[in-house]
Amino acid sequence: MHEATRIIAIDGPAGAGKSTVARRAAEALGYAFLDTGAMYRAATWRALHLGVNLDDPAALESCARAMQLDMQETEEGLKVFVDGEDVTQAIRSPEVTRVIYKLDQNSGVRRHLVALQRQFGERGPTVAEGRDIGTVVFPKARCKIYLDASLAARTERRAKELEAKGLPVDREKLRAEIHERDEHSRNRADSPLRRADDAVLLDTTNLTPDEVVARIVQLAREKLP
Ligand code: DC
- Convert the pLDDT of each residue in 65-123 to its tens digit: 999 999 998 888 899 999 999 999 999 998 999 999 999 999 999 999 999 999 999 99
- Describe the crossing of helices 18-29 and 209-223 by its angle, rounded to 10 degrees: 50
Residue 1 Cα, ligand 1 centroid: separation in angstroms? 26
The CA distance from 52 to 68, in Å, is: 16
Residue 96 Cα, ligand 1 centroid: separation in angstroms? 11
Which of 54, 87, 52, 93 has its CA nearest to residue 68?
87
11: Cβ below 6 Å to ligand 1?
no
Residue ranges and CATH numbers for the domains of the chain are 7-219 (3.40.50.300)
Residue 11 Cα, ligand 1 centroid: separation in angstroms? 10
104: Cβ below 6 Å to ligand 1?
yes
pTM of the model: 0.94
pLDDT in tens, 33-58: 999 999 999 999 999 999 999 999 99
